[in-house]
Amino acid sequence: MSKPNTDEEFFSRLSANVEPAEATPIKAPSRLKAKVYSALVRCQTASGPLLTVSASEANGRSLCVFEKAVEILPVGDGIKSLNFCRVCHARIAAEKMENAPIFWLHCPYAEFQNR
């Protein structure tokens, strides 16, 4: 097999042998989505502090009701940079149940549910 001259040629050959995807995409289970999200946030917190809830909101991320409550508390940025999802019951329910009864606005775990 000869070496392709360009990346484009390589990927063209590679994709020539791939079957097209199904018309209806397969959705990942909500429990899996919740566990992956939790693992990603754990990795982020291990590498350094998270943004404060105010900074997260300023960057376009909506806050859940609990993060909104922390945002208005008279506490330092160290507290406002914690991973509040780690102690929220919504995370536990979402990791253990499909279609968990979580209905908080802007909660990532509620958004993962297959409804």
Residues 41-64: b if buried by 16+ CB within 10 A, e if exposed = beeeeeeeebebbbebbeeeeebb
Average pLDDT, the chain: 88
Q: Which pTM was predicted?
A: 0.71
What pLDDT digit, counting tens, does each position of 44-73 carry?
999 888 999 999 999 999 999 999 999 999
CB 88 within 8 A of CB 66: yes
3: pLDDT confidence band, cut at 50, 70 and 90?
A: low
- On the question of pLDDT at 20 being above 80, the answer is no
Alpha helices, DSSP H, located in the chain: 7-16, 30-47, 53-58, 65-72, 77-80, 89-96, 108-111
